[in-house]
Chains A and B, each alone.
Chain A
Amino acid sequence: MVYSQSKYYLALLGLVLSINLKSQSFKEDPGAIHGNFQFDGAYYQKDSAIGADPGSELFRYNAFGNITYTRGGFSAGGRFESYNPPLLGFLSGYKGSGVPYRFARYAHKDIDITVGNYYEQFGSGIVFRAYENRGLLYDNAMDGMRVIFRPKNGITLKGVIGKQRTYFSLSPGTVRGIDGEVNVMELFDSTLGKLKTKVIIGGNFVSKYQQDQDPTLVLPENVAAGSGRFTVIRGGFNFNAEYAFKANDPSYQNHYSYRDGHALIASTSYATNGFSFLLSGKMIDNMSFRSDRNATNTIDMINYLPDFSKFHTYSLMAYYPYATQPNGEIGGSAEIQYKVKKGTWLGGKYGMDITLNGSMFFGTDTTGIPVIKDTANHYKYTTNYGSVGDEYYHDFNIEITKKFTKKLKMTLMYANQFLNQSIVQFNTLDKEEHPDIHSNIGVIDLTWRYKSNSAIRFEGQGYFASYDYKDKKIDPVTNEKNIIGNTGSWVSALVEWTPSTHWSITVADQYNYNNPDITKRVHYYYGMLAYISGPTRISISYGRQRQGIFCAGGVCRFVPASNGLSLSISSSF
């Protein structure tokens, strides 16, 4: 289906181009062609010490290239993608090659029209967000048409219709939506322009259609959702909130409950030179919204439910990350950033940055409805909004960055984390295989810039965990202490040498030093050589990659352990 549409698209593109080519102005301004591409390939090997088994397809790669033609307000382009097969840890449904993304767009003054594929979001995206994250291979691009209209400064109207990308094909459902946003200050620029308070309000309505082919259930074929939002900004203060509603939408993800869905997210911040404070909170109840009610993983998601926990970049800080729970979740985060001034006792010559961050998330407090009382409604459960359910996750952390001299910089970080792994990552109550995890994590990161364009960076990390099996402490079969899913604690060290701004060499080792299974106390060594010039980066790496969890769009995927040689190339022109 995608390919027959491509033909029409190419014919349309050809027509537009041929009209352009004949015109006199084309000879003066032929337009510009730009693009980018990335290739990540790996040759895997079997490594029984870490449980890495790539199967029979040892060479795998993810590759894409974009090409866009632009001339004035007109642009058109496409993306070729190829995964034969995709790298380990990515959804195998992507296996194949094709041009799943192609578009033509015309924008002039107050109107902006796109045919083909496009990405778009309404408000914060909790009802509708089509986006891509190429590194995670998340792509729910729309295939259809979009119109953006700005009738007046400060007013934006958007309309979208189409189907979402599903691997190299399209979702069985159709999505259509409208959004309006009014920036009050911009709208009344002449009279209110000097007002100190800025107010932005917006709202949207989105509906999806999917045929009911279920022989037993009467499923709603049209499902409506919508949200309202507002932002108020005054001086250093910032407040914004969005509330979303979704009509009954039984799906695989919500166990075919016919209840309505609700989501509320809000955040407020205050920022001034050298000090800031940010508080975010959310309540989500039955808000999984997909264009295919049977979809799993990161496929066919219409909305985006942001996770407010800290986005960690140190690998052991992110060993067990959190992800939004679309079926039900209450929580929030707070962060204070403070810059100790230069010239003070603590600040020294260059000042010192301190960041305090904390987040906590709980399940919603739900009560199951007995099947016999639920035959008419199929609600399955009720939610008590006055209280919260089990704790899902917390992360309290502090980060201090200090520059001692022109040459020496240091970052210290400590975190205390908790993860209710069985619910958050495996959607089960089974603590025997997926125990709760309590951890303390420390990081030291030192950069010594020994010449103006040469530096050595050292990173040391420690992850110290305890695993809680609740009442499943003893394995019922062997009668021994349960150690399933327990990987114990880890330490890691990394040295990165950049002899010049073009080259970088990294060697690293992660050591699972006290895994309760003695045979798994292994070193995960890793080395990488990278060359960078302008927009181009090429790297070759070799080593072991531990198994891990990667989360995108509120869904986590498991990445198996691997060992092998990797090549990455990325560039743009």
Chain B
Amino acid sequence: MKQLIVISSAIILTLTSFTFNNGGKLPSATVKNLDGTSINSNTFSNDGKPMIISFWATWCKPCKKELDAINEEYAELQKETGVKLIAISIDDARSSGKVVTDVKSKGWTYEVYIDENQDFKRAMNVNNVPHTFLIDGKGEIVWSHNSYAEGDEEILFENVKKLVKGEKISH
């Protein structure tokens, strides 16, 4: 009986979550940049232009695939829309030393932060990486996506472009 309740509530929650809009501002959590300086996540901004926040880890293959795929078009997309990508690594002391070496050797030009004890991940309700959020010029979370499949980056690019033009974004 208990099991039935848990399963049915999980299903109900899933169905309702489809209708939920993400909404809301960025929560407050402390992350560190690659110089070791602490930054509060609620101060992330991009001068009224959209931001992408992508949670990843050095040990997560799909995360790196996604960030590589975005990187190929990033310079062009930035020129066109002014978007900025903030990559949040959830690596802990086991692999946090690898964040800077991965970022540099892959040639990523993203703004990178380390969320070593996953406080920001928790505040953003991220279950698993990769998880990517789109934030509009007013700092509202307007879209999010969990996991990565080939082609997901194109949906993200389209949504960024729609956001800049003020069109409704697709889910």
Contacts and interface: CB of A to CB of B under 8 A. Distances in A.
Given A533-B18, A573-B17, A129 B117 contact: yes
B2 interface: yes
Nearest to B97: A267
A135 to B, nearest CB: 7
A572 B36 contact: no
B149 A498 contact: yes
B37 to A, nearest CB: 6
B2 A97 contact: yes
Contacts of A304: 92-93
Interface in B77-113: 92-98, 100-107
A260 to B, nearest CB: 22
A571 interface: yes
A274 B105 contact: yes
A470 interface: no
A6 interface: no
A455 B151 contact: yes
Contact of A454 (B20, B35, B123, B150): B150
A481 interface: no
A271 B100 contact: yes
A509 B117 CA distance: 36
Contact of B100 (A82, A238, A498): A238
Interface in A82-127: 82, 84, 97, 107, 119-121, 124-126
A215 interface: no
Contacts of B24: 32, 34, 70
A532 B98 CA distance: 29
B130 to A, nearest CB: 11
A142 B37 CA distance: 26
Contacts of A449: 150-151
A34 B2 CA distance: 25
Interface in B8-25: 10-11, 13-14, 16-18, 20, 22-25
A97 B5 CA distance: 12
Contacts of B150: 447, 449, 453-455, 498, 501
Contacts of A274: 104-105, 107
Contact of A535 (B17, B28, B94, B105): B17
Contacts of B13: 37, 65, 571
B151 A454 contact: yes
B146 interface: yes
A233 interface: yes
Given A125-B93, A271-B103, 16 more contacts: A36-B126, A39-B6, A75-B123, A97-B2, A124-B93, A185-B37, A240-B97, A267-B97, A274-B105, A304-B92, A337-B105, A504-B149, A535-B22, A537-B147, A573-B20, A573-B125
Interface of A: 32, 34-39, 41, 59, 61, 63, 65-66, 68, 70, 73, 75, 82, 84, 97, 107, 119-121, 124-126, 129, 131-132, 134-135, 156, 183, 185-186, 198, 200, 231, 233, 236, 238, 240, 265, 267, 269, 271-278, 280, 304, 306-308, 311, 313, 335, 337-339, 353, 447, 449, 451-455, 498, 500-501, 504, 532-538, 569-573
Across chains A and B, which 7 residue pairs bring their CB atoms closest together, nearest first? A453-B151, A276-B101, A271-B104, A311-B59, A124-B93, A337-B105, A36-B125
